[in-house]
Amino acid sequence: MSEIPKEEYIKTCTAACAGCSSSLCLRYVLKAAGPDTVLVIPACCTSVIQGVYPNTSFNVPVYNIAFAAAAACASGMSKAFRSAGKKTNVIAYAGDGGTVDIGIQALSGAFERGTDFLYICYDNEAYGNTGMQRSGATPLGALTTTTPGGKGEFKKDLDRIVAAHNPPYMATACSSYPLDLYKKVKKALSIEGPKFIHILAPCPPGWRYESDRTIEMGKLAVKTGSWVLWEREYGKLTVSGPSKAAMKNPLPLEEYLKGQGRFKKATPEIIAKLQQALNKNLERIRKEEEGIC
Amino acid sequence: MLIISTGNKAVAAAVKQAHPSVVAAYPITPQTEIIEQIANYVANKEIETEYIPVESEHSAMAACIGASVTGVRTFTATSSHGLLYMHEMLHWAAGARLPIVMANVNRALGPGWNTWAEHTDAFSQRDTGWLQVFVGTVQEAYDATLMAFRIAEDERVLLPVMVNLDGFSLSHIMQSLDTVELGDFIPPMKLPHAIDVNNPMGYGPMTGPADYFTFRWDIERSMRDARDVIRETEEEFARRFGRKYGPTEDYLCEDADVVVVSMGTLGKEAEVAVDILRKEGIKAGSMRLRWFRPFPDLDLKGKEVVVIDRDYSFGFGGVVAASIRAKTGVECYNVIAGLGGQEVTYDDIAGFVRDRKIGEEMWFGVSE
């Protein structure tokens, strides 16, 4: 971890929940990006993490914009900075709701236009900011306040949607593997054009686990193969270190699910479906890495 | 230089001279010609502007907001459903105090689909914090667009400005256009709160009731100051380029017994109607309302007033008539006419005046 700068970009005044993994992600994202950076955020937990006016917990400029508009706003900002000869990093930092649901049109437009920016989706698999309602990223069987019996549909496959836009760089990450995240942000920002990083960000109140288990929860997601760390540069996929080992010999899925209150109503049938989808995903990633698909 | 131009091309010509750094836009009838023309300017390298072909009007305004907050000049154009689709972002633009200029080609709203002129689209944006000006000729479309940048970017205003022109009856008609040598009429844009990575701030974060209240008042204070800025800008425009504008365009109002109040292209029809009525011995005048926000002070005391509304607020009445009643205390004859491009001639308008029933409302062309 010695290569990670000591400089902090999230200071005091943050209004984040205890055990918030998204704050942790943002801490490393900003360390990688450095001070010549502007964050564009839609309605999401980050608008809470930043604190209440007149305070701000960040020491980079943060531009708050309407829920559906982060990628479009960042698009205009990036064009304006570049036309003025400025290299300033423009990072749209949005939750899963603002990405897979209401914001997906703007995301798609910005990627299609080749916008020079980094879009990061930190994914806590629900509308966390407003108290855990279902999003398109909520997994099958998970309890939310709007799926009190457990969600009946699978998580939307955001990565394949973004991949269809052929960005020069895209990657997955997890708050429990900060060095991996740090390196991916660094690499993304060294490349011109639209970049995408999808971070799994466990959420103690939303996923219903004790706040001191956030790191453990992310590690279990990776070790069971529920969340796979990889990066795709110019179309070439490489599985990242922590997931290489996990993919060879994944822990049983139940290890990940059992500690989360949100899966307490998941039946054996639901768990079997989740396991089946997980296996299929791992197989697809293996084949893609080997260049078979 | 004197040329022949459509209303749309006149707007584009003004935008070219104002030279925004970023134009983000989505095409919609009857606005399309404006952004096609700007796209051509960019493609032919006649202007150094970043043209962002966005995927929706919501994104058009979001991209203008993102660009504007870096401190550069921005422009977009839309119409009707496009304007309504970006409605949310109009609040964000005004709330962030960004001097974005937008042309709105006034068009009716579906259903049924109708691409012709009506003012309901713009009036739906009444409370967003945007300044709104309505123009009546191709020349005015050009002049008002130039002045819009200057007014929006004045540090006493720093609010976005919408230039409204009637769909087809102005956007697509050809009239003579006298373009100007702009000189330093529009100074370089200076945004005091432009994003600065060396002075990081949170823009638009969560704000409690007391601070939020202050921000709203700041917008209203600037709206009030905008009246002075508009007047000064229009006076300077007249000094430099010889064409005079004001909050209203008045025609034979001073000695008039009855005044027709209208907006947009119907104002020119009303002037011809006034000439006809004067020959009949009716002392009529025409007052074309140019600025809708900030709403001007109107002197209508002692006059009979006929208000033509090319809009309607369902369950209530015409928006312009309601505004005039509320602001002046003067009663009027409210004619609802021209909706969805309905043809309204000077003869029709003369008829409204002859048959006026002060205190009543009449829907032109609707049989009971």
pLDDT confidence tier of residue A11, bands split at 50, 70 and 90: confident
pLDDT score for A15: 86
- Cross-chain residue pair B62–A36, CB shorter than 8 Å: no
pLDDT score for A14: 84
For residue A39, the SS3 value is: strand
- Cross-chain residue pair A72–B54, CB shorter than 8 Å: yes
Which chain B residues are closer than 8 Å to A51 by Cβ? 202, 205-206
Taking the C-alpha atoms of residue B150 and residue B18, their distance in angstroms, rounded to an integer, is 9
pLDDT score for B204: 95
- Write the Ramachandran bin of A125: left for phi over 0, alpha for psi from -120 to 50, otherwise beta: left
pLDDT score for B186: 98
- Cross-chain residue pair A83–B50, CB shorter than 8 Å: yes
| Cβ-proximal residues to B191 (8 Å cutoff; 6+ apart), any chain | B68, B69, B71, B98, B99, B158
**What DSSP line would sit under B281-319, residue for residue?**
T--EEEEEE-EEESPPP---TT-EEEEEESS-BTTTB-H
pLDDT confidence tier of residue A1, bands split at 50, 70 and 90: low
**CA dihedral sign of residues A148, A150, A154, A155:** positive
For residue B196, the SS3 value is: coil
pLDDT digits (tens, 9 = 90+) for B159-189: 999 999 999 999 999 999 999 999 999 999 9
Minimum distance, in Å, between the CA of residue A41 and any CA atom of chain B: 10
Mean pLDDT of B200-221: 96
Q: Omega of the bond prior to A167 within 30 degrees of 0, cis?
A: no
Contacting A residues, span 78-137, partner chain B, CB-CB under 8 Å: 78-84, 86, 88, 105-106, 108-109, 112-113
For residue B189, the SS3 value is: coil
- Cross-chain residue pair A53–B207, CB shorter than 8 Å: yes
- Report the residue from B62, B74, B208 with minimal CB separation from A106: B62
CB pairs under 8 A between A and B: 159
- Cross-chain residue pair B206–A53, CB shorter than 8 Å: yes
Nearest to B134 by CA among B167, B181, B166: B166
Please check the confidence at residue B368 and state whether its pLDDT lies above 70: no
pLDDT digits (tens, 9 = 90+) for B110-135: 999 999 999 999 999 999 999 999 99
Please check the confidence at residue B367 and state whether its pLDDT lies above 80: no
Mean pLDDT computed over every residue of chain B: 97
Which chain A residues are closer than 8 Å to B190 by Cβ? none
For A48-75, give one letter per residue: b (16+ CB within 10 A) or e.
bbbbbbeebbbbbbbbbbbbbbbbbbbb
Contacting A residues, span 217-236, partner chain B, CB-CB under 8 Å: none
pLDDT confidence tier of residue B314, bands split at 50, 70 and 90: very high
Which chain A residues are closer than 8 Å to B211 by Cβ? 53-54
pLDDT digits (tens, 9 = 90+) for A73-123: 999 999 999 999 999 999 999 999 999 999 999 999 999 999 999 999 999
Torsion of CA B187, B193, B198, B202, to 10 degrees: -160
- Report the residue from B21, B68, B205 with minimal CB separation from A47: B205
ipTM: 0.96
Taking the C-alpha atoms of residue A34 and residue A26, their distance in angstroms, rounded to an integer, is 12
- Report the residue from B63, B197, B204 with minimal CB separation from A76: B63
Mean pLDDT of B144-154: 98
Q: Are B283 and B257 in contact (CB under 8 A)?
A: yes
This prediction's pTM = 0.97
- Report the residue from A40, A61, A73 with minimal CB separation from B201: A61
Mutate to test the interface with B, among A59, A63, A102, A111 (most CBs of B within 10 A): A63
Q: Is B345 on the interface with A (CB under 8 A)?
A: no
**What DSSP line would sit under B83-137, residue for residue?**
HHHTHHHHHHHHHTT---EEEEEE---SSSP--S--SHHHHTTTTSS-EEEE--S
Neighbouring-strand partners of residue B77: B103
Minimum distance, in Å, between the CA of residue B49 and any CA atom of chain A: 8
- Report the residue from A52, A73, A112 with minimal CB separation from B66: A73
- Nearest chain B residue to A63 by CA distance is B203
- Cross-chain residue pair B62–A88, CB shorter than 8 Å: no
Which chain A residues are closer than 8 Å to B59 by Cβ? 69, 71-72, 75, 105-106, 109
- Nearest chain A residue to B206 by CA distance is A52
Minimum distance, in Å, between the CA of residue B311 and any CA atom of chain A: 29
Mean pLDDT computed over every residue of chain A: 96
pLDDT digits (tens, 9 = 90+) for A254-289: 999 999 999 999 999 999 999 999 999 999 999 999
pLDDT digits (tens, 9 = 90+) for A53-84: 999 999 999 999 999 999 999 999 999 999 99
pLDDT score for B265: 98
pLDDT score for A224: 98
Place of tokens 């639209």: A194
pLDDT digits (tens, 9 = 90+) for B338-357: 999 999 999 999 999 999 99
Percent share of chain B, pLDDT over 70: 100
- Cross-chain residue pair A80–B22, CB shorter than 8 Å: yes
Please check the confidence at residue A292 and state whether its pLDDT lies above 90: no
pLDDT digits (tens, 9 = 90+) for B249-289: 999 999 999 999 999 999 999 999 999 999 999 999 999 99
AA letter at B228: D
Of residues A11 and B25, more confidently modeled: B25
Please check the confidence at residue A168 and state whether its pLDDT lies above 80: yes
